[in-house]
Structure 1
Amino acid sequence: MTETIPARPHLPGACPPGAYPLDHLVLPTASLDVARARLVSLGFVVAPTGIHPFGTENCCVFLDDGTYLEPLAVGNAQGAVKAIADGNVFVARDRAYRDSCGNEGFSALVLGTQNADADHARYVGAGLSAGEMLSFSRAFTDPAGNSDTASFKLAFASGTGATDAFLFACERINAPKVDRTALQIHSNGATGIIEVVAVSTEPSEQHRLISIATRSRAAGQGIGTAFGLPNATLTLLDPVAFETRFGIPAGGPSELRFAAIVCSVRFADTVAKLLAASSVEHDIRGDDIVVRPASGQGAAFVFQEKA
């Protein structure tokens, strides 16, 4: 099947000389069927399966703020092996993540850009490039059955030798307009991603990578460090601070690992009732409803009521 392609989040003067906007998050999974079932149990609408031309496939969750979640599986193992041999950084990083962390997780934070070539040059100049750029196109079909082609250009950044996380800039060369309204109305009332939380055993060592990739300066945030994006916040915590905030283990030692996604919802009570009805275990911690990672859900999901 083909995939519905989201439009860029609407921001005044898109990609100004400042921080880049959050575009989407990549969530490796062993099975899209399992991921789809899990996400539906959390109250999300999940789009039809999308096929990449290099062996991977996804089933995305689109949000009203223009961001989205991308559960990612290997649909064609032979195609993925060939893509890695051909130098495809996206697939190679996915394989490295799975080898290091397993088939369920949260591997990448993706930023919106209007000039991926310039971003690649910045990453190379800073010694943070994760490899060659990737350009590709794929077919998509909108809810009305209209078909077109979407094209992308990606530039990758990561720490030296890091396998647990990477960041990349995504430029949409061609993104036809489609009506995604039906895919953005979630029974849990989710409207957007307001925060992404990463964990590091050496947080200060990650500031340069994150600042260069996001074009946002690190700012103190009590027990952690915040990087402000136009449409979200990237928060970096040490393992103790992560466990203190969310009440769940931070996992094994890592230079950098994305660990939690905070979504805005209209009514917290609606989420709590839905999770209970779906027999999904969750914890209430202050204003947060915390759902631990599970098969098909590689990160902690946190729901916050926002007016």
Structure 2
Amino acid sequence: MGGQHDGCAKRSLDHVVLPFASLDEARELFSGLGFTVAPDAVHPFGTGNACVFFADGTYLEPLAIADPAVYDAAKTGENLFVVRYAGFRSSHRLPSISALAFRSADATGDRASLAQKGLGEAELVEFSRNFRTPDGKDASVSFRLAFARAEPDSHVSFFFCQPLHAKAPDRSALTRHANGVSGLARIVLSDCPPDKSRELLATVADARADKGIDGRLCFELAGTALHVISEASLFEEFGAESKSSGGLCIRGIVLTVSDMAASRAFLAASGCSAKMTGGRLVVPFGADGTFIAFEESPA
């Protein structure tokens, strides 16, 4: 796909969008799990985030409505980012996991590549927003977004995110977390059957679909992966209960830690209701049965 690799052999995951009722709720949840949470930032179309950044360059974007009037105007004006977000909020219990953003060096080229396969949206979304650096200074970042087509029964949105600012902000102070998390290992999805979303996922991830154990689909990205697995495997590996909504959806986020014993002790001391399942520490996350899992990175 056009310009996506940014000098790398594989596509990179940029961030994961997690809708919340409010940023205060998001901050309380992630701070309680031992994450360093960035200061609130507001988009020009009425949403706001309180991000959790990782040392591997990926991040989580807890997202809420920050300015209802501006948000409603953007939705009426068919801003595609807001339309997708609003659609998810209206049909899912919060918090949840709604979208994957892939890193792009040329969102316009990615849009054209998607269109060639009949999998793209025509609209690009461009915006700039201010943010507060850890040392209290104000700065600005700009982005261009291109979106994959929304499948009728899908519960996840895919888009490409191209930074337009010349210099990336220094977020190193925000990537150190008391729970020991260093990065994002993989995103766990489900669909029935898992093969149903093969073409879409292979296209947006720009990766070959490999068959793994239990018939799962595995898409290897730069530094992380997407796994589409069965309900039986979800329960066996993560203790996740069956979800009856059907269609492609994100079930969980697997993060890496360097010392599982230390991370487990920290979460236990924080009163977190985490449990060990399949060698991973799993924390129930969303109201719809989603989870965040911690696993030890290879030595």
User: Please, which of 80, 92, 103 is the counterpart of residue 83 of structure 2?
Assistant: 92
Match in the other structure for 1:211: 202
Aligned counterpart in structure 2 of residue 253 of structure 1, from 231, 236, 245: 245
TM-score, normalising length from structure 2? 0.92
- 1:97–1:163: 8 Å Cα contact kept in structure 2? no
Aligned residues of 2:99 and 2:157 also touching (Cα < 8 A): yes
User: Is the partner of 1:122 in helix, strand or coil?
Assistant: helix
Give the alignment partner of residue 36 of structure 1, picking from 27, 32, 51. 27
User: What is the CA-CA distance between 1:15 and the residue it aligns to?
Assistant: 4.5
Cα deviation per residue 1:94-124 (whole Å; 9 max; x = unaligned)? 1111122123210011100101001111222
Separation in 2, partners of 1:20, 1:298: 28
Name 2:275's counterpart in structure 1.
Answer: 283
Q: Structure 2 vs 1, CA of residues 158 and 257 (structure 1 numbering), >3 Å: closer, same or farther?
A: farther
> Could you say what secondary structure the match of 1:99 adopts?
helix
Gaps of 5+ in 1: 1-12
Q: Tell me the C-alpha RMSD between the 2 structures.
A: 1.8
Moved more, 160-169 or 67-76: 160-169
SS in structure 1 opposite 2:75?
A: helix
Equivalent residue runs for 1:68-83 within 5 Å: 68-83=59-74
The 1:15–1:250 alpha-carbon spacing in structure 2 relative to 1, beyond 3 Å, is farther
Residue from 110, 117, 133 that aligns with 2:108: 117
Relative to structure 1, the CA distance from residue 68 to residue 175 in structure 2 (aligned partners, 3 Å threshold; closer, same or farther) is farther
Misfit runs of 4+, over 6 Å: none
Q: How many residues align?
A: 293
Match of 2:176 in 1: 185
Task: Give the SS at the match of 2:120.
Answer: coil
CA separation of 1:215 and 1:179: change in aligned 2, threshold 3 A: same
Deviation at 1:80, TM superposition (A): 1.3
Residue 124 of structure 2 is matched in structure 1 by 133
Q: Is the 8 A contact 1:106 1:298 kept in 2?
A: no
Q: Does 1:266 align with 2:247?
A: no
Distance in 2, matches of 1:285 and 1:155, equals 37
Within the candidate set 119, 126, 134, 1:143 is matched to 134
Residues in 2 aligned to 1:285 and 1:241: alpha-carbon distance in whole angstroms: 12
Identity over aligned pairs, percent: 34
Q: Aligned pair in 2 of structure 1 residues 20, 117: CA closer, same or farther (>3 Å)? A: same
Q: Compute the TM-score of the two structures, normalised by the length of structure 1.
A: 0.90
Letter of the 2:248 counterpart? L
- Partner of residue 242, structure 1: 234
**CA-to-aligned-CA distance 1:41-83 (integer Å, 9 cap, x gap):** 1110101001000010000001011110000001112211111
Stretch deviating more after TM superposition (278-287 or 219-228): 278-287
CA deviation after TM superposition for structure 1 residue 217, in Å = 0.9
- The answer for the alignment partner of 2:92 in structure 1 is 101
Q: Which amino acid aligns with 2:223?
A: N
Q: Tell me, which stretches of 5 or more residues in structure 2 are unaligned?
A: none
Deviation at 1:146, TM superposition (A): 3.4
The Cα offsets for residues 233-290 of structure 1, whole Å up to 9 and x where unpaired, read as 1001122221222112142232110111111001111121122112111111232101
Question: 1:152-192, CA deviations, whole angstroms, 9 ceiling, x for partnerless residues?
Answer: 00011144324510111100011533332221110111000
Instruction: Give the structure 2 partner of residue 227 of structure 1.
Output: 219
Partner letter of residue 243 of structure 2?
G
CA shift for structure 1 position 19: 3.2
